[in-house]
Amino acid sequence: MANVLPIGVAPAELRPTQMSLGFREVDVKRRQWRDADDAHRAKILRRHVVPTVVGPKGRHFIVDHHHFTKAMIDENVALIAMFVVANLGDLGKDEFWTVLDNRAWCHAYDAKGQRRSLSDIPKSLTELADDPYRSLAGELIRAGGCAKNSVPFSEFLWADFLRRRIKAALVATDFGGALAQAVELARGPEAKSLPGWSGADPAN
Residue-by-residue DSSP string for 67-101: HHHHHHHHTT---B-EEEEEE-TTS-HHHHHHHHH
Q: Which CATH architecture has domain 3-130?
A: Alpha-Beta Complex (3.90)
Q: At 199, is the pLDDT very low, low, confident or very high (cuts 50, 70, 90)?
A: confident
CATH of segment(s) 132-191:
1.10.8.10
Cα gap 97→176, rounded to integer Å:
38
pLDDT tens for residues 69-124? 999 999 999 999 999 999 999 999 999 999 999 999 999 999 999 999 999 999 99
Q: Where are the domains of the chain?
A: 3-130, 132-191
Per-residue pLDDT of 164-192, as tens digits, reads: 999 999 999 999 999 999 999 999 999 99
The predicted model scores a pTM of 0.91
Write out the E strands in 36-157: 50-54, 60-62, 82-87, 129-130
